Amino acid sequence: MNRVQNFIDGQFVDGSEPDFENRFPATGEVVSAVSCAGQDEVDRAVRAAKKALTGPWGKMSVAERIALLRKLADGIQARFDEFLSAEIKDTGKPISIASHIDIPRGAANFNVFADQIATVSTETFQMATPDGNGALNYALRMPRGVIGVVCPWNLPLLLMTWKVAPALACGNTVVVKPSEETPTTATLLGEVMNAVGIPHGVYNVVHGFGGGSTGEFLTSHPDVDAITFTGETVTGEAIMAAASNGVRPVSLELGGKNPAVVFDDADIDATLEGLGRSCFANTGQVCLGTERVYVQRGIFDELVEKLGAKAKAYKFGDPFDKATGMGPLISAEHRRKVLGFYDKARADGATIVAGGGVPDVDGFPGGYWVEPTVWTGLSADSAVVTDEIFGPCTHLMPFDDEDEAVALANASPYGLAASIWTTNLTRAHRVAAQVDSGITWVNCWFLRDLRTPFGGSKRSGIGREGGIHSLEFYTELRNVCIKL
């Protein structure tokens, strides 16, 4: 059986805890054994990362680091099929998604932060002094040191490199804790790191679980200088508490319950295309996905019917088959959670427009499948409408006017992503400014310019990553004041 090891100081090594199983979500079969890091391996990884800061890596010019980042992007592209296959086996996501989004973005993240670090400036201020000679202030952009990177399972390579690329661009070293569900591509990236000549200790990977395990060992380690985390809000709270020990900075990209607002002047076909993706892509396991749709009353029935038809048209099947439109959920445990919401919707009296159950997928009886599901008729305080489900499901509710739509969209403790569908651009600007979310898309969804600020408000997170905002998190500015 394939074995996934930890990657510490440039070497693939075993952990001191018992191996755990990694399953292919489309069949439920065990595809690899994962070596679990204990406190000792986390200590070794952090020590290696700390030591690497003062080795050849710490002495490299920005130009040399940029050249290495570009080689990492090329290195992922050169082994595209291996990354693709590993990501599909870990997640069960269809090849159509992994080949267009996950793996290309994994490579692109290194190029975009190579571009960013090449052009970033710092501030300078000249000031007057009583002797008339003045003084000059300028800021130096310094790496923070060892960055702890804790990742989720939904877009494993994409979300991990989204943090590792800017961290390395800024001259930090990293210890990555991938999700226990998706350990493989982070490990494969270790091979690429060695192949392109990233010095040992700059990139380390430790496998294991969260609380009481590898994740907590890493986030509570005193020699980790900053922590970047993507995952659930409750985990973010635990990590923020761990980071308070030693006053370490955190970047938290957390959960959401994202609204879409559809006005009656929207282009219906374009809206349905966008909503179809935002509700169901990656089997609904996208933090930016839509689980609440508010539709202006005049087009409510039409939209409900057509979104329901879209949900019913999904083709399940082998994730490695290009024709497969929807894969399984990540795990049996996550399916229990999602199906719990399907039961709750029924109990709360929802009208089930599409789905609501488990499909029979020919040849894949053991997979963690669920039907894409569309509901109407729930009250605004049903847990189905308020809680993040992270499945291929959404609830539609009518509204009458713009103020009501904004109030409904904002009636959530989360504030990650929203989408607005209208052909009236004046209204689009007006509403976008009122929706309390970190990211608002108008007449599109998941259209990503990687230089833009990315992150959530309210319980969806702290801080922004992307472009200069990533560089701000992964560096510390040091002001130098020179009396002339």
Instruction: Indicate the pairing of strand 135-143 with strand 475-483.
Output: antiparallel
- Which residue has 């202030």 as its token pair? 137
Query: In whole angstroms, how close is the CB of 149 to ligand 2VS at the nearest point?
Result: 13
CA distance 28 to 364: 9
**Stretch of 88-96, 215-223, 319-327, 470-478 lying at the interface with ligand NAD (CB under 6 A):** 215-223
Structure tokens at 137: 């202030």
> In 275-385, where do the E strands start and end?
290-296, 351-354, 373-376
Task: Provide CB contacts within 8 A for 131, sequence distance 6+.
Answer: none
Q: What is the sign of the dihedral through the CA atoms of 36, 42, 45 and 49?
A: positive
Residue 476 near residue 144 (C-beta atoms within 8 A):
yes
What length is written for the chain? 484
**If binding is defined by CB under 6 A, does position 416 make contact with ligand NAD?**
yes
Which one of ligand 2VS, ligand NAD, none interacts with residue 448, CB within 5 to 8 A by kind? ligand 2VS
Per CB under 6 A, the list member of 180, 318, 371, 472 interacting with ligand NAD is 180
Query: Which of ligand NAD, ligand 2VS, none does residue 263 bind (CB under 5 to 8 Å by kind)?
Result: none
Closest to ligand 2VS by CB, 42 or 159: 159
CA distance 227 to 440: 26
Catalytic residue among 41, 87, 253, 371: 253
Which residue do the tokens 């392109």 mark? 196
Helix (H) or strand (E) holding 17: strand 17-24
Residue span 344-373 as binding mask against ligand NAD, x where in contact by CB under 6 A, dash where not: ------------------------------
**Quick one: what does residue 235 bind among ligand NAD, ligand 2VS, none, with the CB cut-off 5 to 8 Å set by partner type?**
ligand NAD
Tokens at residue 459, please?
A: 């319980």
Q: Among 94, 190, 256, 356, which residue interacts with ligand NAD (rule: CB under 6 A)?
A: 256
- CA distances, 432 to each of 259, 293, 417, 438 (Å): 12, 15, 11, 11
| d(C-alpha 332, C-alpha 25), whole Å | 8
Rounded Cα distance between 279 and 286, Å, is: 9
Q: Which is nearer to ligand NAD, 171 or 392 (CB)?
A: 392
Three-state secondary-structure class, residue 105: helix
Min CB(154)–ligand 2VS separation in Å: 5
User: Is 253 a residue of the active site?
Assistant: yes
Residue 416 interface partner, choices ligand NAD, ligand 2VS, none, CB cut-off 5-8 Å depending on type: ligand NAD
Write each residue from 376 to 405 as x if it is in contact with ligand NAD (CB under 6 A), else as -, in one continuous string. Answer: ------------x-x---------------
Partner touching 199 among ligand NAD, ligand 2VS, none, CB below 5 to 8 Å by kind: none
Exposed (0-12), middle (13-18) or buried (19+): which is 90, by Cβ within 10 Å? buried
Task: CB nearer to ligand 2VS: give 344 or 448.
Answer: 448
Ranges within 147-166 binding ligand NAD (CB under 6 A): 150-154, 159
Beta carbon of residue 291, minimum distance to ligand NAD (angstroms, whole number): 10
How many whole angstroms separate alpha carbon 37 and alpha carbon 14? 7
Kindly tell me which residue out of 115, 232, 273, 402 binds ligand NAD, with binding defined by CB under 6 A: 232
Helix H or strand E encompassing 269: helix 268-280
For the segment 255-294, give every residue that binds ligand 2VS (CB under 6 A): 286-288
Smallest distance, Å, CB 188 to ligand 2VS? 20
Angle among Cα 404, 410, 414 to the nearest 5 degrees reads 160
Measured distance CA(361)–CA(121) in Å, rounded: 54
In the bound state, the residue with its beta carbon closest to ligand 2VS is 287
What kind and span of H or E run contains 306? Answer: helix 300-312
Tell the smallest beta-carbon distance from residue 461 to ligand NAD (Å): 6
Site for ligand 2VS in 112-171 (CB under 6 A): 154-155, 159, 162
User: Judged by CB under 6 A, which of 70, 427, 448, 458 binds ligand 2VS?
Assistant: 448
- The Cα 148–Cα 214 span in angstroms is 11
Nearer to ligand 2VS, 146 or 287 (CB): 287
Residue matched to tokens 């559809």? 262
Helix (H, G, I), strand (E, B) or coil at 330: coil
**C-beta of 300 vs 454, nearer to ligand 2VS:** 454
Q: Catalytic positions, please?
A: 253
Binding site for ligand NAD (CB under 6 A): 150-154, 159, 177, 179-180, 209-211, 215-216, 219, 230-232, 235, 238-239, 253-256, 287, 388, 390, 416, 456, 460-461
Binding site for ligand 2VS (CB under 6 A): 154-155, 159, 162, 286-288, 448, 454
